[in-house]
Amino acid sequence: MKPILAICLLGAAFAAAATPAYADRDAVHFFSDIKIAPDATVHDAVCFFCSVHDEGEVEGDIVVFFGSVHIAGKADHDVVNFFGGVSADDNAQIGQDLVSFFSEVRLGQNVSVGKDMVSMFGFVRAPESVSVGHDRVTMPFIIVLAPLILVGLIVIFVVYQVRAHRRRQFFSAYNIPPGM
pLDDT digits (tens, 9 = 90+) for 132-145: 888 888 888 788 78
Is the model's pTM score more than 0.75?
Answer: no
Paired strand residues for 29: 47
Q: What is the dihedral of CA 48, 49, 55, 57, to 10 degrees?
A: 10
Distances (CA, A) of 40 to 53, 54, 63, 154: 12, 9, 18, 56
Percent of the chain with pLDDT over 90: 38
Tell me the pLDDT tens digit for each residue of 145-177. 888 899 999 999 999 999 999 988 887 777 666
In this predicted model, what pLDDT tens digit does every residue of 61-83 receive, in sequence order? 999 999 999 999 889 999 999 99
